Protein backbone atom coordinates (compact mmCIF):
# COMPACT_ATOMS: atom_id res chain seq x y z
CA UNK A 1 0.00 0.00 0.00
CA UNK A 2 1.28 3.44 -0.93
CA UNK A 3 0.81 6.42 1.35
CA UNK A 4 1.84 10.03 0.77
CA UNK A 5 3.61 12.00 3.48
CA UNK A 6 5.21 15.41 3.41
CA UNK A 7 8.98 15.41 3.87
CA UNK A 8 9.36 19.20 3.67
CA UNK A 9 9.16 21.48 6.73
CA UNK A 10 7.92 24.31 4.52
CA UNK A 11 5.06 22.16 3.21
CA UNK A 12 4.17 20.90 6.70
CA UNK A 13 3.94 24.37 8.22
CA UNK A 14 2.46 26.23 5.23
CA UNK A 15 0.19 23.70 3.52
CA UNK A 16 -0.70 21.20 6.24
CA UNK A 17 -0.69 23.99 8.83
CA UNK A 18 0.51 21.66 11.55
CA UNK A 19 3.65 21.22 13.59
CA UNK A 20 6.72 19.36 12.47
CA UNK A 21 6.38 16.97 15.42
CA UNK A 22 2.77 16.19 14.56
CA UNK A 23 3.77 15.40 10.96
CA UNK A 24 6.46 12.99 12.18
CA UNK A 25 3.90 11.32 14.45
CA UNK A 26 1.46 10.91 11.53
CA UNK A 27 4.17 9.23 9.45
CA UNK A 28 5.06 6.80 12.26
CA UNK A 29 1.47 6.00 13.23
CA UNK A 30 0.28 5.40 9.66
CA UNK A 31 3.18 3.15 8.70
CA UNK A 32 2.93 1.14 11.93
CA UNK A 33 -0.82 0.66 11.52
CA UNK A 34 -0.42 -0.67 7.98
CA UNK A 35 2.49 -2.94 8.91
CA UNK A 36 0.46 -4.39 11.80
CA UNK A 37 -2.23 -5.18 9.21
CA UNK A 38 0.36 -7.16 7.24
CA UNK A 39 0.68 -4.77 4.31
CA UNK A 40 3.75 -3.92 2.27
CA UNK A 41 4.12 -0.18 2.77
CA UNK A 42 5.50 2.34 0.29
CA UNK A 43 5.90 5.87 1.58
CA UNK A 44 5.84 8.47 -1.18
CA UNK A 45 8.03 11.20 0.30
CA UNK A 46 6.27 14.22 -1.15
CA UNK A 47 8.48 17.28 -1.76
CA UNK A 48 11.52 15.29 -0.59
CA UNK A 49 14.00 17.09 -2.83
CA UNK A 50 12.66 20.59 -2.20
CA UNK A 51 12.53 19.74 1.49
CA UNK A 52 16.16 18.65 1.40
CA UNK A 53 17.15 22.03 -0.02
CA UNK A 54 14.95 23.93 2.47
CA UNK A 55 15.82 22.05 5.70
CA UNK A 56 17.69 18.81 5.21
CA UNK A 57 17.65 17.98 8.93
CA UNK A 58 13.86 17.85 9.00
CA UNK A 59 13.74 15.83 5.78
CA UNK A 60 16.20 13.44 7.43
CA UNK A 61 13.89 13.19 10.46
CA UNK A 62 10.94 12.28 8.22
CA UNK A 63 13.02 9.62 6.47
CA UNK A 64 14.09 8.11 9.78
CA UNK A 65 10.50 8.18 11.10
CA UNK A 66 9.22 6.17 8.13
CA UNK A 67 12.16 3.78 8.34
CA UNK A 68 11.87 3.14 12.08
CA UNK A 69 8.12 2.53 11.76
CA UNK A 70 8.82 -0.31 9.33
CA UNK A 71 8.28 1.12 5.83
CA UNK A 72 9.32 -1.30 3.08
CA UNK A 73 9.99 1.45 0.56
CA UNK A 74 10.59 5.19 0.69
CA UNK A 75 9.96 6.80 -2.69
CA UNK A 76 11.66 10.17 -3.02
CA UNK A 77 9.49 12.67 -4.91
CA UNK A 78 10.45 15.74 -6.93
CA UNK A 79 6.88 16.92 -6.59
CA UNK A 80 7.32 20.36 -8.17
CA UNK A 81 9.49 18.93 -10.96
CA UNK A 82 12.09 21.68 -10.76
CA UNK A 83 15.15 19.91 -9.36
CA UNK A 84 18.34 19.37 -11.35
CA UNK A 85 20.15 16.04 -11.80
CA UNK A 86 23.08 17.00 -9.55
CA UNK A 87 20.64 18.01 -6.80
CA UNK A 88 18.75 14.74 -7.22
CA UNK A 89 21.95 12.71 -6.96
CA UNK A 90 23.11 14.54 -3.82
CA UNK A 91 19.80 14.22 -1.97
CA UNK A 92 19.22 10.59 -3.01
CA UNK A 93 22.70 9.68 -1.85
CA UNK A 94 22.00 11.36 1.49
CA UNK A 95 18.79 9.35 1.88
CA UNK A 96 20.79 6.18 1.35
CA UNK A 97 22.96 7.16 4.31
CA UNK A 98 19.98 7.99 6.53
CA UNK A 99 18.15 4.67 6.01
CA UNK A 100 18.61 1.07 4.90
CA UNK A 101 15.07 0.97 3.48
CA UNK A 102 14.86 0.44 -0.28
CA UNK A 103 14.56 3.72 -2.16
CA UNK A 104 12.50 4.65 -5.19
CA UNK A 105 12.21 7.88 -7.16
CA UNK A 106 9.15 9.75 -8.43
CA UNK A 107 9.88 12.62 -10.83
CA UNK A 108 7.76 15.29 -12.45
CA UNK A 109 8.74 16.88 -15.76
CA UNK A 110 8.22 20.60 -15.15
CA UNK A 111 11.82 21.39 -16.11
CA UNK A 112 11.90 18.67 -18.82
CA UNK A 113 14.31 16.71 -16.62
CA UNK A 114 12.15 13.87 -15.29
CA UNK A 115 14.05 11.20 -17.22
CA UNK A 116 17.48 12.67 -16.44
CA UNK A 117 16.58 13.08 -12.76
CA UNK A 118 15.32 9.50 -12.57
CA UNK A 119 18.57 8.19 -14.02
CA UNK A 120 20.52 10.38 -11.57
CA UNK A 121 18.60 8.82 -8.68
CA UNK A 122 19.08 5.29 -9.98
CA UNK A 123 22.78 6.00 -10.37
CA UNK A 124 23.26 6.57 -6.64
CA UNK A 125 21.17 3.74 -5.25
CA UNK A 126 17.44 4.05 -5.96
CA UNK A 127 15.98 0.75 -7.20
CA UNK A 128 12.36 1.63 -8.02
CA UNK A 129 11.00 4.05 -10.61
CA UNK A 130 7.53 5.53 -10.50
CA UNK A 131 6.36 6.90 -13.83
CA UNK A 132 3.65 6.71 -16.47
CA UNK A 133 3.36 5.51 -20.05
CA UNK A 134 4.05 8.45 -22.40
CA UNK A 135 4.73 10.63 -19.36
CA UNK A 136 1.04 11.42 -18.88
CA UNK A 137 0.48 13.33 -15.65
CA UNK A 138 -0.47 16.65 -14.13
CA UNK A 139 1.08 19.89 -15.36
CA UNK A 140 4.02 18.89 -17.59
CA UNK A 141 3.70 15.20 -16.84
CA UNK A 142 5.59 12.50 -14.98
CA UNK A 143 8.69 10.48 -15.78
CA UNK A 144 8.05 8.71 -19.08
CA UNK A 145 8.35 4.94 -18.77
CA UNK A 146 8.53 4.45 -22.54
CA UNK A 147 11.76 6.45 -22.41
CA UNK A 148 13.12 5.21 -19.10
CA UNK A 149 12.62 1.46 -19.52
CA UNK A 150 14.63 1.27 -22.80
CA UNK A 151 17.30 3.61 -21.41
CA UNK A 152 17.71 1.69 -18.16
CA UNK A 153 17.70 -1.67 -19.92
CA UNK A 154 19.62 -1.04 -23.15
CA UNK A 155 22.10 1.55 -21.92
CA UNK A 156 22.55 0.91 -18.20
CA UNK A 157 22.06 -2.85 -18.08
CA UNK A 158 19.11 -2.97 -15.68
CA UNK A 159 16.79 -5.91 -16.37
CA UNK A 160 13.44 -4.11 -16.24
CA UNK A 161 11.41 -6.30 -18.61
CA UNK A 162 12.01 -9.24 -20.94
CA UNK A 163 13.35 -8.54 -24.46
CA UNK A 164 9.96 -9.60 -25.86
CA UNK A 165 8.17 -7.12 -23.59
CA UNK A 166 10.65 -4.40 -24.54
CA UNK A 167 9.77 -4.93 -28.21
CA UNK A 168 6.16 -4.06 -27.33
CA UNK A 169 7.11 -0.58 -26.06
CA UNK A 170 6.07 1.28 -29.21
CA UNK A 171 2.81 -0.63 -29.51
CA UNK A 172 1.93 0.03 -25.86
CA UNK A 173 2.78 3.72 -26.19
CA UNK A 174 0.46 4.15 -29.17
CA UNK A 175 -2.28 2.08 -27.55
CA UNK A 176 -2.24 4.27 -24.43
CA UNK A 177 -2.36 7.39 -26.61
CA UNK A 178 -5.41 5.95 -28.36
CA UNK A 179 -7.12 5.24 -25.03
CA UNK A 180 -6.37 8.79 -23.91
CA UNK A 181 -7.71 10.15 -27.22
CA UNK A 182 -4.39 11.94 -27.69
CA UNK A 183 -2.37 11.89 -30.94
CA UNK A 184 0.94 10.03 -30.44
CA UNK A 185 3.91 12.37 -30.09
CA UNK A 186 5.89 11.81 -33.29
CA UNK A 187 9.05 13.14 -31.65
CA UNK A 188 8.95 11.04 -28.47
CA UNK A 189 12.25 9.19 -27.93
CA UNK A 190 12.33 5.51 -28.85
CA UNK A 191 8.62 5.19 -29.77
CA UNK A 192 7.82 8.28 -31.85
CA UNK A 193 7.16 8.05 -35.58
CA UNK A 194 10.17 10.32 -36.14
CA UNK A 195 12.45 8.70 -33.54
CA UNK A 196 14.39 6.87 -36.26
CA UNK A 197 13.50 9.02 -39.28
CA UNK A 198 16.29 10.28 -41.52
CA UNK A 199 15.79 13.32 -43.71
CA UNK A 200 19.15 14.84 -44.67
CA UNK A 201 20.74 13.10 -47.63
CA UNK A 202 24.02 12.21 -45.96
CA UNK A 203 22.12 10.80 -42.96
CA UNK A 204 20.20 8.48 -45.25
CA UNK A 205 23.41 7.52 -46.99
CA UNK A 206 25.10 6.74 -43.68
CA UNK A 207 22.23 4.59 -42.45
CA UNK A 208 22.27 2.58 -45.69
CA UNK A 209 25.95 1.80 -45.14
CA UNK A 210 25.63 1.07 -41.42
CA UNK A 211 22.41 1.43 -39.40
CA UNK A 212 24.43 2.49 -36.34
CA UNK A 213 25.75 5.55 -38.16
CA UNK A 214 22.75 7.70 -37.17
CA UNK A 215 20.78 5.45 -34.79
CA UNK A 216 21.65 5.05 -31.11
CA UNK A 217 19.87 1.66 -30.85
CA UNK A 218 18.27 -0.90 -33.13
CA UNK A 219 14.68 0.42 -33.54
CA UNK A 220 13.39 -3.16 -33.53
CA UNK A 221 14.47 -3.53 -29.89
CA UNK A 222 11.58 -1.25 -28.90
CA UNK A 223 9.20 -2.28 -31.69
CA UNK A 224 9.85 0.76 -33.87
CA UNK A 225 11.33 0.97 -37.36
CA UNK A 226 13.62 3.31 -39.31
CA UNK A 227 12.16 5.63 -41.92
CA UNK A 228 13.81 7.52 -44.75
CA UNK A 229 12.02 10.81 -45.34
CA UNK A 230 11.67 12.38 -48.75
CA UNK A 231 12.10 16.16 -48.99
CA UNK A 232 14.09 18.86 -50.74
CA UNK A 233 17.03 17.82 -48.54
CA UNK A 234 16.88 14.24 -49.76
CA UNK A 235 19.74 13.15 -51.96
CA UNK A 236 20.20 10.14 -54.16
CA UNK A 237 20.74 7.86 -51.17
CA UNK A 238 17.44 8.76 -49.52
CA UNK A 239 15.54 8.36 -52.79
CA UNK A 240 17.18 5.00 -53.49
CA UNK A 241 16.68 3.71 -49.94
CA UNK A 242 13.00 4.67 -49.86
CA UNK A 243 12.44 3.16 -53.31
CA UNK A 244 13.99 -0.11 -52.14
CA UNK A 245 11.68 -0.15 -49.11
CA UNK A 246 8.72 0.31 -51.46
CA UNK A 247 9.93 -2.44 -53.78
CA UNK A 248 10.63 -0.11 -56.72
CA UNK A 249 13.80 -0.60 -58.78
CA UNK A 250 15.26 2.62 -60.22
CA UNK A 251 17.94 3.06 -62.84
CA UNK A 252 20.36 6.00 -62.80
CA UNK A 253 18.14 8.12 -65.03
CA UNK A 254 15.09 7.51 -62.85
CA UNK A 255 17.01 8.31 -59.65
CA UNK A 256 18.19 11.65 -61.01
CA UNK A 257 14.71 12.44 -62.29
CA UNK A 258 13.18 11.56 -58.91
CA UNK A 259 15.58 13.88 -57.06
CA UNK A 260 14.75 16.77 -59.38
CA UNK A 261 11.01 16.04 -59.26
CA UNK A 262 10.97 16.02 -55.44
CA UNK A 263 12.87 19.30 -55.24
CA UNK A 264 10.58 20.88 -57.81
CA UNK A 265 7.44 19.73 -55.99
CA UNK A 266 8.65 20.99 -52.60
CA UNK A 267 9.53 24.36 -54.12
CA UNK A 268 5.90 24.57 -55.25
CA UNK A 269 4.61 23.84 -51.75
CA UNK A 270 4.24 20.06 -51.72
CA UNK A 271 5.37 18.18 -48.61
CA UNK A 272 6.31 14.56 -49.26
CA UNK A 273 7.76 13.72 -45.82
CA UNK A 274 4.69 11.76 -44.77
CA UNK A 275 3.10 11.23 -48.17
CA UNK A 276 4.42 7.76 -48.91
CA UNK A 277 1.66 6.84 -51.36
CA UNK A 278 2.28 10.02 -53.35
CA UNK A 279 6.01 9.27 -53.46
CA UNK A 280 5.27 5.72 -54.61
CA UNK A 281 3.15 7.04 -57.48
CA UNK A 282 5.90 9.52 -58.37
CA UNK A 283 8.37 6.65 -58.67
CA UNK A 284 5.98 4.59 -60.77
CA UNK A 285 5.53 7.48 -63.20
CA UNK A 286 9.29 7.58 -63.73
CA UNK A 287 9.48 3.95 -64.84
CA UNK A 288 10.38 3.57 -68.55
CA UNK A 289 7.35 1.37 -69.22
CA UNK A 290 4.88 3.48 -67.25
CA UNK A 291 1.48 4.00 -68.84
CA UNK A 292 -1.17 6.06 -67.10
CA UNK A 293 -4.07 3.71 -66.18
CA UNK A 294 -6.60 6.49 -66.89
CA UNK A 295 -6.73 10.12 -67.89
CA UNK A 296 -8.81 12.98 -66.48
CA UNK A 297 -10.24 14.64 -69.58
CA UNK A 298 -12.02 17.41 -67.68
CA UNK A 299 -14.10 18.04 -64.57
CA UNK A 300 -16.52 20.59 -63.15
CA UNK A 301 -17.25 21.26 -59.47
CA UNK A 302 -20.21 23.26 -58.14
CA UNK A 303 -20.80 24.42 -54.57
CA UNK A 304 -24.18 25.96 -53.83
CA UNK A 305 -26.98 26.30 -51.30
CA UNK A 306 -30.39 24.93 -52.29
CA UNK A 307 -33.70 25.66 -50.60
CA UNK A 308 -32.06 26.91 -47.44
CA UNK A 309 -30.12 23.69 -46.83
CA UNK A 310 -26.44 23.42 -45.99
CA UNK A 311 -23.85 23.92 -48.70
CA UNK A 312 -23.97 21.19 -51.35
CA UNK A 313 -21.01 20.21 -53.53
CA UNK A 314 -21.44 18.43 -56.84
CA UNK A 315 -18.81 17.22 -59.29
CA UNK A 316 -18.97 16.07 -62.90
CA UNK A 317 -15.97 14.27 -64.33
CA UNK A 318 -14.96 12.91 -67.71
CA UNK A 319 -12.38 10.12 -67.51
CA UNK A 320 -10.73 8.23 -70.36
CA UNK A 321 -9.71 4.58 -69.94
CA UNK A 322 -8.05 3.21 -73.04
CA UNK A 323 -10.23 4.38 -75.93
CA UNK A 324 -13.39 4.76 -73.85
CA UNK A 325 -14.58 7.97 -72.18
CA UNK A 326 -16.82 7.83 -69.11
CA UNK A 327 -18.78 10.79 -67.79
CA UNK A 328 -20.25 10.65 -64.27
CA UNK A 329 -21.49 12.97 -61.55
CA UNK A 330 -21.81 12.77 -57.79
CA UNK A 331 -22.17 14.94 -54.71
CA UNK A 332 -20.12 14.97 -51.54
CA UNK A 333 -19.19 16.64 -48.29
CA UNK A 334 -17.20 19.41 -49.96
CA UNK A 335 -15.62 19.79 -53.41
CA UNK A 336 -12.83 17.24 -52.89
CA UNK A 337 -15.27 14.65 -51.57
CA UNK A 338 -17.57 15.20 -54.55
CA UNK A 339 -14.69 14.79 -57.01
CA UNK A 340 -13.58 11.63 -55.26
CA UNK A 341 -17.06 10.11 -55.40
CA UNK A 342 -17.53 10.98 -59.07
CA UNK A 343 -14.13 9.59 -60.07
CA UNK A 344 -14.70 6.37 -58.15
CA UNK A 345 -18.08 5.96 -59.84
CA UNK A 346 -16.45 6.29 -63.26
CA UNK A 347 -13.76 3.74 -62.42
CA UNK A 348 -15.76 1.24 -60.37
CA UNK A 349 -15.85 -1.24 -63.26
CA UNK A 350 -12.04 -1.24 -63.53
CA UNK A 351 -10.88 -2.82 -60.26
CA UNK A 352 -7.52 -3.67 -61.83
CA UNK A 353 -6.72 0.07 -61.90
Confidence at residue 216, expressed as pLDDT on a 0 to 100 scale = 93
> What domains does the chain contain, in order, with CATH numbers?
2-179 (3.20.20.70), 197-285 (no CATH), 295-347 (3.30.160)
Mean pLDDT (the chain, rounded):
89
Instruction: Check whether 205 has a pLDDT greater than 70.
Output: no
How far is residue 226's CA from residue 234's CA, in Å, rounded to a whole number? Answer: 15
Q: Is the pTM of this model over 0.95?
A: no
pLDDT score at 290: 81
Mean pLDDT within 246-265: 80
Helices 252-267 & 276-285, crossing angle to 10 degrees?
130
Tens of pLDDT, residue by residue over 119-170, are 999 999 999 999 999 999 999 999 999 999 999 999 999 999 999 999 999 9
What is the pLDDT, as a whole number, of residue 232? 52
CA 219 vs CA 64, 162, 196: distances in Å:
44, 16, 7
CA distances from 305 to 284, 317, 336 (A): 41, 21, 17
pLDDT at 206: 61
Of residues 161 and 320, more confidently modeled: 161
Amino acid sequence: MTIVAKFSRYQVETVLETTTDENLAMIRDTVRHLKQAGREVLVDAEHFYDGYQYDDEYTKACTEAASEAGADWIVLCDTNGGSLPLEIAEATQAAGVWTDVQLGVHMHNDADLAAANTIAGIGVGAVQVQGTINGFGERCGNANLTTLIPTLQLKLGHACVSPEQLRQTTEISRYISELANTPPDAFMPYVGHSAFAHKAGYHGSGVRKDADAYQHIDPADVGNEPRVLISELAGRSNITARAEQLGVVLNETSINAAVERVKSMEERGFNLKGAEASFYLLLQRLQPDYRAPFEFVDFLVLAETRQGRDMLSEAMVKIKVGDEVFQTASDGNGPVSALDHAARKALEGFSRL
